[in-house]
Amino acid sequence: MSNYLDAVVKEHNPSKKKIDRAVIWLHGLGASGHDFEPVVPQLGLSDDMAVRFIFPHAPKRPVTVNGGMVMPAWYDILEMSLERKVDIAQIETSAQQINDLIAREVERGVTPEHIVIAGFSQGGAVAYHVALSHPKRLAGLMTLSTYLATDDHIEYSEANKEMPILIEHGSHDPVVPVVLGEQAQQLLSGKGYSVAYHTYPMAHQVCMPQIQNIGKWLNAVLA
């Protein structure tokens, strides 16, 4: 029996069917699972779709780049250089906690190929690690305003070589420079993944045109 992460759960199910789709969406540093909860009704998801959104809360831990302040964090960030020196072991631990949430959805009757893994900023780094290494085919991977921190540590899964990947970034992001999103897109495209990459004239945030595009993408990959 796993000790599952606490999470906010929100369902999109206008037709009151049995839930058979899921999106596990990770928040950024210092935030909470409530961060993206308001986005769900704005996505424009199909009315005949029954989707459970799981927004887990990251554990609280000291974060070196914030002077050791304790806050919700998926892992410690050791320095804010472009190389983004991070605590790899903590990313791997957080990834296992997300894999436990995937397993719980499977137990509830949602097959892995109907589960999307998503993450914003720090949560996106964990989402990359989870989805790219997951042993069973997933519906898709969505990463927002983030970076691929663990390329040298991921055991890339053959099962997910065909998985749709959506990478989105703000062109004026002062926290995670847009070049890091571009690097992830180029790295994964070079490995043969199908990557859709979009930028928006914004900072470290999300915007309504982006939310609408995310909804279209989710409608497609969860169809």
Contacts of 190 (CB under 8 A, 6+ apart): none
End-to-end CA distance of the chain: 31
Any idea which residue has 């957080």 for tokens? 94
3 state SS of 219: helix
Query: In the 8-state DSSP scheme, what is residue 78?
Result: -
Cα separation, 24 vs 9, whole angstroms? 9
Q: CA 9 to CA 43: how far, in whole Å?
A: 16
What CATH number was assigned to the domain covering residues 7-221? 3.40.50.1820
The answer to whether 124 and 95 have CB atoms below 8 angstroms apart is no
User: Where do the structural domains in the chain lie, given as residue ranges?
Assistant: 7-221
3-state DSSP percent of the chain in helix, strand and coil, to 5: 35, 25, 45
Q: Look at residue 28 in the predicted model and tell me its pLDDT.
A: 98
The one catalytic residue among 121, 129, 134, 169: 121
Q: What is the pLDDT of residue 1?
A: 46
Catalytic residue check, 173: yes
CA distance 103 to 85: 30
pTM of the model: 0.97
pLDDT digits (tens, 9 = 90+) for 113-164: 999 999 999 999 999 999 999 999 999 999 999 999 999 999 999 999 999 9
pLDDT along the chain (223 residues), means of 10: 88 96 98 98 97 98 96 94 87 98 98 98 98 98 97 96 98 96 98 97 98 98 97
